[in-house]
Amino acid sequence: MSDLHWNSAITKVEPNKLTVRGYPLDGLIGKASFAQMVYLLLKGEMPSENASRMIEAILVSSVDHGTTPPSVLSALNVASTGAPLNASVAAGILSISKFHGGAIEDCMLTLKSAMDIKKGKGISLDESAIEIIQKFKAENKRLPGFGHRLHTNDPRTHTLFALANELGIADDYCKLANVFVNQLKEISGKELPLNVDGAIAALLCEMDFDPILANGFFMIARVPGLIAHIYEEKIRQKPMRKIHPTDVIYDGPENRSL
Amino acid sequence: MSDLHWNSAITKVEPNKLTVRGYPLDGLIGKASFAQMVYLLLKGEMPSENASRMIEAILVSSVDHGTTPPSVLSALNVASTGAPLNASVAAGILSISKFHGGAIEDCMLTLKSAMDIKKGKGISLDESAIEIIQKFKAENKRLPGFGHRLHTNDPRTHTLFALANELGIADDYCKLANVFVNQLKEISGKELPLNVDGAIAALLCEMDFDPILANGFFMIARVPGLIAHIYEEKIRQKPMRKIHPTDVIYDGPENRSL
Amino acid sequence: MSDLHWNSAITKVEPNKLTVRGYPLDGLIGKASFAQMVYLLLKGEMPSENASRMIEAILVSSVDHGTTPPSVLSALNVASTGAPLNASVAAGILSISKFHGGAIEDCMLTLKSAMDIKKGKGISLDESAIEIIQKFKAENKRLPGFGHRLHTNDPRTHTLFALANELGIADDYCKLANVFVNQLKEISGKELPLNVDGAIAALLCEMDFDPILANGFFMIARVPGLIAHIYEEKIRQKPMRKIHPTDVIYDGPENRSL
Amino acid sequence: MSDLHWNSAITKVEPNKLTVRGYPLDGLIGKASFAQMVYLLLKGEMPSENASRMIEAILVSSVDHGTTPPSVLSALNVASTGAPLNASVAAGILSISKFHGGAIEDCMLTLKSAMDIKKGKGISLDESAIEIIQKFKAENKRLPGFGHRLHTNDPRTHTLFALANELGIADDYCKLANVFVNQLKEISGKELPLNVDGAIAALLCEMDFDPILANGFFMIARVPGLIAHIYEEKIRQKPMRKIHPTDVIYDGPENRSL
């Protein structure tokens, strides 16, 4: 052991044997889902069947948002120069930041802060939400996770929350998120529905994930979408084209269901 | 429409409605798996049940390889400077390149080239493999996807191929991969077993994926592993530490099973 | 003009004519220095002859720090996978963050804050410095720009400040930096000399640069160093080697002077 | 010494002493130019006075090209998400690839190949250029470094070559570049003037730089331009705006000279 010796508790690497968080990897292949591996890697333990399904749903809900996000536009601009796939993905990942995906972490912090106030002061969820909303209002800031420039009634949010109820994942944080929606309407007079970032934030709080990891879930989910767009750029477009951010029309298949 | 108008066939974005490759996204949440979404995004169609399970297994097999790969070491060096999660992930992604993950694409190209020779010349898989091996030998190059500096008998490979047989995914490309192993032994006298990159290459060929996407599967699979390591660095280590590439011991849980 | 019309005040691009901040670029080639271009691009105006020399000296002082910084180690880990030069440079750039280079911006903010307190309260530089030091002490934080784990008496700092005096660039901010050194010794009893980050911070304050740009100067300066290390990795080392962070010895030429 | 011991010939780091390629760094601050440091770092030796001026001119010629290049557009898309300066710069760097900046390396390789043919076969520069042009024509490829979609008569090229003549840097490779222009016209009937990438390629060949480093010069030169654009985005634009790639007008100062 050198004086730079360190430890890691993630994966044990031995000749012909890989063990992830104590589970031999070859015993997981074909048995565990990718969503379970995400949970196992980030929490250190295998999720319950219901938590597995919740993580799977969260990842599915965030795989892509078309050509509108800056992560896709930066990735396409890089891909357009003939850069390899991984460099283009990296540029997309670099865009998953404060104003793009960042609301998940910020909303988790807000919800946790409201929960702390509730517990610390022995007040109700409503009183605690009001306190937070007034604080944001005083600082002239938007509450992260509520409202969306495009989706006023995001079907992803409803589906995620319905599933969370069905799976028994929904608890105080989901209640709190809805309390915020009601109090925001009460105080501001405006409908500011929970958006998909806010919904994921509440669900990650329910499953006790560290807010630092919020952006991680978004990145894991979105990489396949980024790759699909970069691949389409490479096979369908000319190099060095000027990429218009809005004058783009969907021309894929319409209206299918499972 | 401006003169920069373009089209995209991936996701249709409308107010309160997201449609991925024609499937309303909210109808997929809770029903489709993440692995299915990966297939849908990259191929444009939903996979069969068996292909879904194969993709899931491929992703699970590649989630992490401990602290040994350069992708983890570059990500940790970035994380150690206090950089945000996404910048650290991007540095890891930038390492998924020619000599790290690149063997999947290179092996796909080799297998496809052997299959083309077989069909073009009307010769057997063995004859075609011999031709390719002799060509690599003449150029003093290693055949990508065969042999591993650490794993002489990679259990991931066996598990993936056993599953592929069970699911009916294994066909000519898997046969060809084994023909290569036998002919490599015959010609070089050395055991150069198919490694996990080679196994994934054969399976992606069986499912008719474009080799350009090979690295994409590896990135999708590995991002959760990268995030787990970066998170561990952030919560367990001091900033700006000197990161030794080999003097690291696993100290997580031992020997568990599902 | 579309509804996405925007303006930029940096470079006008016309056929056969490029004009940077109003200066035709071909009139600058062979006449202006690179350091002058940096100033012109970032401030919008040509620097004085003395400011040019100061910027040049700042850039020269930061070109490289051997194989020790995490920016070099992350860049080498990426380069070692066979990644192209630009991907390796990008990984290095991603390490120029809070704890690596970030002290320049943090020290600029501290110096500006001290100057604001001095002006706002009508107190002396010493009183203002004491106030700031006590605040950092109360929060158990280190003052950015002072002290260095390796260089107790950094010759770069002395040379930069001597030049700043000679060129008439040194003024209140340089005085303030020295006041901090004296007060830190007074209050903590420890020698915490101004380090090179702190010196550059004071000089960028003197030339009225926005602290947001601090890291930019460090990146501009350090890219050639990163490229030299990546190039050495590519021509001198085997791919996928394990890169030890400290067991490295300099074997270049010794003791030369201009 | 561990079994991972390695050497580096770039910078010796000792307490209170940094020595770059044998030159104490504090002896260079205020004396050497940044362009000289670039040469010293990449070649290992101090340049002649004339080579210094040539490198300086090459760097100045490439500092910016307005908002048109994909490197600026990807950097702005990243910056627009609230990402830090270094992440935005990294995205720009990732765009300096095959079709953007890559012509410098490709043109160096072409010029060197023509020079090798000339020497190997004992033929004239013209004959060697014709051989290369015919080869590109047969493969239906464009000769890198010649022609530009916007600049038919690039003033940067002329100024760089005029300076190279004045400094005695221009020799066989500059001649060869002009031979190519003449033969291209002869063979194709089209005017395909040497562009700025081609001019820099010829000059880097004259100074005997490794073509691997070509993109490095472009990156070193362009980072200040990228930073100027990212800074402008941060202080002048709203987050998450849609960045139009062409509907942008220069609104800075007009027509100034040194």
Residues 30-89 of B with CB under 8 A from D: 83-84, 86-87
Quick one: what percent of chain B has pLDDT higher than 70? 100
Determine, for residues A29 and B221 on separate chains, whether the beta-carbon distance falls below 8 Å.
Answer: no
Determine, for residues B86 and D87 on separate chains, whether the beta-carbon distance falls below 8 Å.
Answer: yes
> For A91-114, what is each residue's pLDDT tens digit?
999 999 999 999 999 999 999 999
B258 has pLDDT over 90: no
Contacts of D211 in chain C (CB under 8 A): none
- Spell out the long-range contacts of A107-110 with Cβ–Cβ below 8 A and sequence spacing 24 or more: A107/A143, A107/A144, A107/A145, A107/A146, A107/A197, A107/A198, A107/A201, A107/A202, A108/A201, A108/A204, A108/A205, A108/A209, A108/A211, A108/A214, A109/A211, A110/A143, A110/A144, A110/A145, A110/A201
3-state secondary structure of A17: strand
Tokens of C164: 């700043």
DSSP string, D20-44: ETTEEHHHHTTTS-HHHHHHHHHHS
What strands, in cross-sheet order, belong to the sheet with A23-24? A11-14, A17-20, A23-24
Where helices occur in chain A by DSSP H, the ranges are 25-28, 34-43, 49-61, 70-79, 85-94, 102-121, 125-138, 155-167, 172-188, 196-206, 214-236
Q: Report d(CA D102, CA A73) in Å as an integer.
A: 21
Residue D243 touches chain B, beta carbons under 8 Å? no
> For D205-253, what is each residue's pLDDT tens digit?
999 999 999 999 999 999 999 999 999 999 999 999 999 999 999 999 9
Q: What is the pLDDT of residue D203?
A: 98
Distance from CA of A103 to the nearest CA of D (A): 11
Q: What is the pLDDT of residue B134?
A: 95
Determine, for residues D98 and A77 on separate chains, whether the beta-carbon distance falls below 8 Å.
Answer: no
- Among A30, A89, A228, beta carbon nearest to B93: A89
| Cα C223 to Cα C94, D47, D221, distances in angstroms | 12, 19, 10
Every domain of chain A and the residues it spans: 11-61, 64-241
Tell me chain B's radius of gyration from C-alpha atoms: 21
Report the C-alpha dihedral over residues B72, B73, B79, B85, rounded to 10 degrees: -20
Residue C27 touches chain B, beta carbons under 8 Å? no
Q: Report d(CA C220, CA C36) in Å as an integer.
A: 13
Residue A167: count of CB within 10 angstroms of its CB: 18
Closest CA to B228 of C134, A9, D127, A255: A9
* Residue B90: closest C-alpha in chain C: C91
- CA angle at residue D126 from D124 to D131, to 5 degrees? 100
* Residue D84: closest C-alpha in chain A: A97
The structure tokens 């890697």 sit at A41
Query: Please, which chains are in contact with A (at least 3 CB pairs closer than 8 A)?
Result: B, C, D
Determine, for residues D26 and C252 on separate chains, whether the beta-carbon distance falls below 8 Å.
Answer: no
Q: Report d(CA D132, CA D141) in Å as an integer.
A: 11
Determine, for residues C4 and A86 on separate chains, whether the beta-carbon distance falls below 8 Å.
Answer: no
Determine, for residues D252 and C9 on separate chains, whether the beta-carbon distance falls below 8 Å.
Answer: yes
3-state secondary structure of D128: helix
Contacts of B245 in chain D (CB under 8 A): 4
Q: What is the pLDDT of residue A152?
A: 86
> For D97-133, what is each residue's pLDDT tens digit?
999 999 999 999 999 999 999 999 999 999 999 999 9
The structure tokens 């060697």 sit at D128
Tokens of A107: 């909303």
Determine, for residues C90 and A90 on separate chains, whether the beta-carbon distance falls below 8 Å.
Answer: yes
Q: What would you measure as the largest C-alpha separation in chain C, in angstroms?
A: 64
Interface size between C and D, measured as CB pairs under 8 A:
374
Contacts of C193 in chain D (CB under 8 A): none
Residue A243 touches chain B, beta carbons under 8 Å? yes
- Among B4, B83, B246, beta carbon nearest to D4: B246
Q: Report d(CA C234, CA C76) in Å as an integer.
A: 9
Contacts of C258 in chain D (CB under 8 A): 23, 27-28, 31-32, 46
pLDDT-derived band of residue D152, with 50, 70 and 90 as boundaries? Answer: confident
In terms of CATH architecture, what is D64-241? Orthogonal Bundle (1.10)
Residue C214: which H helix or E strand, with range? helix C214-236
DSSP string, D28-85: HTTTS-HHHHHHHHHHSSPPPHHHHHHHHHHHHHTS-BTB-SHHHHHHHHHHTTT--H
Determine, for residues B159 and A34 on separate chains, whether the beta-carbon distance falls below 8 Å.
Answer: no
Contacts of B86 in chain D (CB under 8 A): 83, 87
Contacts of A83 in chain C (CB under 8 A): 86
Distance from CA of A45 to the nearest CA of D (A): 32
Where helices occur in chain D by DSSP H, the ranges are 25-28, 34-43, 49-61, 70-79, 85-94, 102-121, 125-138, 155-167, 172-188, 196-206, 214-236
Q: Report d(CA A10, CA B65) in Å as an integer.
A: 9
Q: What is the pLDDT of residue C92?
A: 98
Q: What is the pLDDT of residue B81?
A: 98
A149 has pLDDT over 90: no
Q: Report d(CA B111, CA A63) in Å as an integer.
A: 31
Contacts of B235 in chain A (CB under 8 A): 210, 212
Determine, for residues B42 and A90 on separate chains, whether the beta-carbon distance falls below 8 Å.
Answer: no
Q: Report d(CA B160, CA A28) in Å as an integer.
A: 11
* Residue D222: closest C-alpha in chain C: C220
Q: What is the pLDDT of residue D70?
A: 97
Query: What one-letter code names the amino acid at C90?
Result: A
Q: What is the pLDDT of residue C153?
A: 86
Q: Report d(CA C115, CA C172) in Å as an integer.
A: 9
Report the C-alpha dihedral over residues C224, C230, C234, C235, rounded to 10 degrees: 40
- Among A83, A240, A245, beta carbon nearest to D94: A83
Determine, for residues D11 and C44 on separate chains, whether the beta-carbon distance falls below 8 Å.
Answer: no
Contacts of B251 in chain A (CB under 8 A): 7-9
Q: What is the pLDDT of residue D74?
A: 98
Q: How far is CA C126 from the centre of its chain?
A: 26
3-state secondary structure of C207: coil
Phi, psi of C89 (to 5 degrees): -60, -40
Where helices occur in chain B by DSSP H, the ranges are 25-28, 34-43, 49-61, 70-79, 85-94, 102-121, 125-138, 155-167, 172-188, 196-206, 214-236
Contacts of D100 in chain A (CB under 8 A): 81-82, 240
- Among D81, D94, D246, beta carbon nearest to A98: D81
Q: What is the mean pLDDT of each run of 10 residues along chain C (258 residues)?
A: 94 96 97 98 98 98 97 98 98 96 97 97 96 95 90 92 98 97 92 95 98 98 98 97 97 92
DSSP string, B184-201: HHHHHSS---B-HHHHHH
Phi, psi of C9 (to 5 degrees): -110, 25
Determine, for residues B5 and A244 on separate chains, whether the beta-carbon distance falls below 8 Å.
Answer: yes
The dihedral region occupied by A175, where left means phi > 0, alpha psi between -120 and 50, and beta the remainder, is alpha
Contacts of A29 in chain B (CB under 8 A): 57, 60-61, 156, 159-160, 163
pLDDT-derived band of residue A190, with 50, 70 and 90 as boundaries? Answer: confident
Q: What is the pLDDT of residue C149?
A: 80
Q: What is the pLDDT of residue C81?
A: 98
For A139-153, B41-55, C42-56, D6-20, which range has the lowest pLDDT when averaged over its residues?
A139-153
Quick one: what percent of chain D has pLDDT higher than 70? 100
Contacts of B31 in chain A (CB under 8 A): 258
Q: Report d(CA D129, CA D133) in Å as an integer.
A: 6
Determine, for residues C225 and D41 on separate chains, whether the beta-carbon distance falls below 8 Å.
Answer: yes
Query: What one-letter code names the amino acid at C176?
Result: L
Residue D97 touches chain A, beta carbons under 8 Å? yes
Contacts of A93 in chain B (CB under 8 A): 86, 89-90, 93
Sign of the alpha-carbon dihedral angle for B92, B94, B95, B101: positive
Name the DSSP class of D4. Answer: T
Determine, for residues B248 and A6 on separate chains, whether the beta-carbon distance falls below 8 Å.
Answer: yes
Residue B66: which H helix or E strand, with range? none
Q: Report d(CA A35, CA A49) in Å as an integer.
A: 11
Residue C19: which H helix or E strand, with range? strand C17-20
> For B54-90, what is each residue's pLDDT tens digit?
999 999 999 999 999 999 999 999 999 999 999 999 9
User: Of C89, C95, C197, C238, which to mutate for an interface test with B (greatest number of B Cβ within 10 Å)?
Assistant: C95
* Residue A91: closest C-alpha in chain C: C90
Q: Report d(CA D162, CA A36) in Å as an integer.
A: 65
Average pLDDT, integer, range D172-195: 94
Q: What is the pLDDT of residue B197?
A: 96
Average pLDDT, integer, range A158-168: 98
